Amino acid sequence: MATDLERRELTFQTIDEAIAEAERLASGEVRTTGAHSFGQILNHLALSHDTSTGRVVAPPPPLFMKLMMPLMKRMVINSKPLKPGITLPAKGEAFFWPDREIDVPTGLQYFKESVEYYKNNGALDKHPFFGKLTKDECDELNCRHAALHLSFVHPV
């Protein structure tokens, strides 16, 4: 697992800022710290957006997560910055972090499409993991999630 010293400090006020950063990184050489490639990170961010809109359906979380996540949502949404290191149950890991390489152009295109779908359709009334979120909370969660994962991607 990467340490905080191996991450860049990032914050995004809008998801468009996250897209711009992903495009900037994709335009040159990068290195990643942590367990995933840049393409996998982009795919993960797209899957997360698609799950929040219902465009794709993730495996349901185990009961203990269903009970804990709505209670933890304030901490996740309000703590700055998000901390790495949450390990999902095996089915969730396999879904959100497929064990295959994803090239950066494919991952970037998918991320951009998922964000566009989110902008046009909004989130589900009830987030699959965090329960009821306002639009502002969902936007904040998406921005903070993107900042967390893109912080492991470093321009060379």
What ranges do the domains of the chain cover? 15-155
Residue 99 has pLDDT above 60, yes or no: yes
Q: Which two tokens stand for residue 152?
A: 């492991």
**Which pLDDT value is given to residue 2?**
43
Mean pLDDT score, 120-140: 89
Q: What is the pLDDT of residues 38-93, one digit of tens each?
A: 999 999 999 999 999 999 988 887 777 777 776 677 767 766 666 666 666 667 66
Q: How many CA atoms lie within 13 A of 45 on its CB side?
A: 33
* pLDDT winner (highest mean) among 30-34, 126-130, 133-137: 30-34
pTM (two decimals): 0.85
- Please check whether residue 143 is in contact with residue 12, taking contact to mean a CB–CB distance below 8 angstroms: yes
**What does pLDDT average to over the chain?**
86
Distance of CA 61 to the CA centre of its chain: 17
Mean pLDDT score, 104-133: 93
**Which pLDDT value is given to residue 1?**
41
Residue 9 or residue 131, greater confidence: 9
**Which pLDDT value is given to residue 26?**
98
Residue 93 or residue 4, greater confidence: 93
Q: Which of 69, 65, 60 is nearest to 95 (CA)?
A: 60
